A and B are shown apart, each in its own frame.
Chain A
Amino acid sequence: MRQPPQIGFLPDHKRLHMSDGPIDLIIEAFGDPGQIRAAYRAAAERFVTVLDELCSELPLLRQPMSPRSTLPAGVVGRRMAQAVVPYAQRCFITPMAAVAGSVAEEILNTMTCAAGLSRAYVNNGGDIAFHLTPGEHLVAGMMERPDRPSLFGTATLHHDQPARGIATSGWRGRSFSLGIADAVTVVATTASLADAAATVIANAVDLPYHPRIFREPARNLAPDSDLGDIPVTRDVPQLLASEINSALGAGTKIAEELLATKLIGSAALYLQGHIRIIPTPIPRHSRRSPLHAHYSDSRSLLHA
């Protein structure tokens, strides 16, 4: 039986929590209280139909993307397709790779159109769309592993940088990954682009022929997964330092290409305690968290 979407405030009475099926959003808006209310109302009204819209064309959204693919009809589905199109010739990818970021972006856009807010974010399970006005910034905490919630760094994102989306992908997360990265966090101009790029980079952090990495066809786990018979990562053994370097190297290579084509602003790759930051942090801020230093100093690189 279709369970209705759930919308309510979290106990702090400030953040709005909306969930429907697999979509789970945490939203916070800042500014004039009347404007916040208007933004929340608009968000809730928009939210209640999002999942049904997506599901009405789910078979299409689960199809591998190619430049000749039919574009989805729904605005969220279309955004998903646009986010993954740049990767269509490079690798297997479906619009589902950008679903979380695209939903976050849709709700954020609805809120900023409905009300004047100084700052806002929509967090869809770690894929975050945010809004900043001059002088404002957002600090995002970064986690290496969802099963070990401890912060490994923070990313401070300022108004005068173009980044408005941040997303994380890894094999331990809720979605399947083809790679072995514990987490890949990507900053991009929009949440949907960040989501797609994080998926692609996390898939690339891999040791394709390692015998003890346990993989299983996605279909075995979820019969209707968009990944079909493609093996997804189920367990990664403790790796040698040389193996970690090699896997991170493969991911870094892709991330640098995406950076050069301005699909991403920056990325952080985590694997078994090792971290790679792209682009490489500038050392004068080395006393601060490397991520913090990086994102504060890479403004010029974030222009996509």
Chain B
Amino acid sequence: MPNPADSNPDPSMETRTPDDAIRCDACPVLCYIKPGRTGSCDRYANHDGQLVRLDPHVLLDQAVSRGDSLVPFLEREGEWDGNLVTKPTPFVTAIGAGTTYPDYKPAPFIISSEVAGIDVVTVVTEGIFSYCGVKVKIDTDRHLGSETATVRAEGEAVGHVTTSEYGSQMLSLGGVRHLTGGSRHEGTVTCQTLLDLCNGKPAELTIDGGASVIVQANQPPVVDRVREERMRVGCGSATIGMFAKQWFGKVDDVVVVDDHITGVLSQHQAGKLLGVAETGIRIKGRRSTPGRYFQVAEPGTAWGGTNIDDPRSILKPFDPKTAWPGLRLLMVSTTGEHSAYFELDDQLELAEKDLPPALKDSVARIRENCEPALSTVLFMGGAGGSLRAGVTENPVRLTLSVKDALTRVTCGGAPAYVWPGGGITFMVDVSRMPANAFGYVPTPAIVAPIEFTLKLADYAALGGHMDHVRPLSSVTGAKDDRERRVAHPDNPWPLGPAHSRTVAIKKKEAPRG
């Protein structure tokens, strides 16, 4: 949460109506607090008409094992001994650090801590991001909506559907156009949606001409009120390739129904290699290569991400010259969620039968190989000129230093991927950040923590506010508005060796296919 006391220095912006002030009843002083101001205690504030207690400033302690939970700063400080060998250096996050927008003032906390003999500086601030949003990856084969379709929350446009990725659909939500470019209500709803998603809360989204989906970071998506359990094991063609050997001899043909590529065992390269005989099966849709079909149906939320409930509807009559009565056919979806078994009768019509046990096992195997379906949320924002000025007197040098990997960027201690090119545009997995790390200002814009960590000497070289550097001990000392939490165990320690981060970035840049 930013310290709203600094957010409105322009007197012309002050609303003069006395009604805007709220009465704080947290203590008998009963302060009238104006919007954007704190009471006489500096602990309670009028935040957009709401009385809020300003968040405690979060300090992260290096996690030594999974499962460590929040350690209250005062009460259990003496009891908790998370150290195994040496006392780890706490990392000061920007959460609750406050912001100095428009940032001509130095960042609220510039901390110096010694790590492995090198004096390291962490510049801690909370940025106000108008240029920001979230990228949501929803693991599902169900059709959520066409590319570029508008995504809505509470009826307001908050984003759009972007590309499909392997087994997933991507949404791009937020961005400056929805936050401040549309109506006031559109901005408010967009801001709230981003805030909910970033803070790990669910958001209900509807897609124009598509599905409704409940998205929550690191939770299975709920598509049209059905909770998605599994990602598809692969496309229909890939599934044929993976399971052809297991089906061979137990069934005459297999169709893996998939909205993207439907696979047919007897025609597929994998079937040919095994010597699977032709069955005279004929599929609706557009043939790509042998045994691989596009557009067998319309996209939907039923079988394999299509709109069909009866898999027989994608089949044309069998070729009577090749097919034979008694032919055994398995139809299955790419997640194993849907399956059906048929045998051809004397008229070469499909008659549904119970799945033989051997085929039941193979369907279960498909299911087992599907990873749990999740929604994942990456926050993306750009650190503007003013935020950078809070870090250094020469803002562009910070950008260059980040590019040169001399400066590490983290958000609430979670590693951030800095997009190549100009500026500091970064992405971070919100589920690796401490709880409730995000706030907002009524602009509307999102307030996100951001920390820049670099060597003290490098900091001096890039024109840092050296006179504001203070030792870590001055922050980790007693103060009841700071909260000590254990770092996310999957995050590299922000004060660790710089090269480990470089490797992590290279890995991210490499993926193909």
Contacts and interface: CB of A to CB of B under 8 A. Distances in A.
Decide whether A and B are members of one complex: yes
A149 B474 contact: yes
Contacts of B31: 222, 224
Closest 6 CB pairs of A and B: A21-B27, A55-B28, A10-B478, A223-B32, A22-B41, A22-B40
A102 B387 CA distance: 40
B478 A216 contact: no
A164 B287 CA distance: 93
B472 to A, nearest CB: 13
Interface string B10-24: 010010101001000
A19 B25 CA distance: 16
Contacts of B21: 223
Contacts of A1: 25-26
A235 B6 CA distance: 11
Given A20-B27, A56-B28, A221-B34, 5 more contacts: A22-B27, A26-B478, A51-B28, A55-B28, A223-B21
Given A13-B78, A223-B18, A223-B21, A3 B28 contact: no
Interface residues of A, number: 36
A10 B73 CA distance: 10
A222 B33 CA distance: 6
Contacts of B9: 214, 234-235
A12 B477 CA distance: 9
Interface in A216-248: 216, 220-224, 234-235
Nearest to B476: A11
Contacts of A56: 28
21 contacts: A1-B25, A2-B28, A8-B74, A11-B74, A11-B77, A12-B478, A13-B78, A17-B478, A19-B480, A21-B27, A21-B28, A22-B41, A24-B41, A26-B478, A55-B29, A55-B30, A149-B474, A214-B9, A220-B14, A222-B37, A223-B21
Contacts of A289: none
B221 to A, nearest CB: 39
A3 B29 CA distance: 11
Nearest to B39: A22
Contact of A3 (B14, B27, B30): B27
Nearest to B40: A22
A287 interface: no
Nearest to A147: B105
A119 interface: no
B404 interface: no
A220 B467 contact: no
A3 B27 CA distance: 6
B42 to A, nearest CB: 6
B268 interface: no
Interface of A: 1-3, 6, 8, 10-13, 15, 17, 19-22, 24, 26, 51-52, 55-56, 58, 147-150, 174, 214, 216, 220-224, 234-235
Contacts of A149: 470, 474
A2 B11 contact: no
Nearest to A13: B78
Contacts of B25: 1-2
A6 B480 contact: yes
B468 interface: yes
Contacts of B468: 148
A11 B478 contact: yes
A222 B77 CA distance: 36
B479 to A, nearest CB: 9
A17 B485 CA distance: 21
Interface string B65-102: 00000000111011000000000000000000000000
Contacts of B478: 10-12, 15, 17, 26
Contact of A21 (B29, B32, B77, B105): B29
A56 B30 CA distance: 11
Interface string B472-507: 001001101000000000000000000000000000
A8 B40 CA distance: 22
Most chain-A CB neighbours within 10 Å: which of B27, B77, B78, B470? B27
B40 to A, nearest CB: 4
Nearest to A8: B74
Nearest to A1: B25
Contact of A51 (B16, B27, B77, B477): B27
Contacts of A3: 26-27
B29 A17 contact: no
Contacts of B73: 11
B144 to A, nearest CB: 44
A21 B18 contact: no
Nearest to A21: B27
B40 A222 contact: yes
Contacts of A220: 11, 14, 16, 34
Contacts of B28: 2, 21, 51-52, 55-56
A34 B397 CA distance: 58
A174 B42 contact: yes
A22 B29 contact: yes
Contacts of A224: 31-32
Interface string B410-428: 0000000000000000000
A10 B75 CA distance: 9
A222 B42 CA distance: 12
A150 B470 contact: yes
Contacts of A51: 27-29
A1 B74 CA distance: 23
A147 B32 CA distance: 25
B201 to A, nearest CB: 25
B259 to A, nearest CB: 55
A213 to B, nearest CB: 13
Most chain-B CB neighbours within 10 Å: which of A19, A22, A214, A235? A22
A3 B9 CA distance: 30
A19 B40 CA distance: 13
Contacts of A15: 478
B32 A222 contact: yes
A111 B39 CA distance: 29
A138 B16 CA distance: 47
Most chain-B CB neighbours within 10 Å: which of A17, A21, A147, A223? A21
Nearest to A52: B28
A6 B105 CA distance: 33
Contacts of A52: 28
Interface in B37-61: 37, 39-42
B360 to A, nearest CB: 60
A3 B474 CA distance: 28
Nearest to B42: A174
A264 B32 CA distance: 34
A193 B31 CA distance: 26
A177 B305 CA distance: 67
Most chain-B CB neighbours within 10 Å: which of A26, A58, A220, A235? A220
Contacts of A234: 9
Contact of B27 (A2, A150, A174, A222): A2
A133 to B, nearest CB: 26
A11 B105 CA distance: 31
B11 A216 contact: yes
Nearest to B8: A221
B50 to A, nearest CB: 15
B29 A222 contact: no
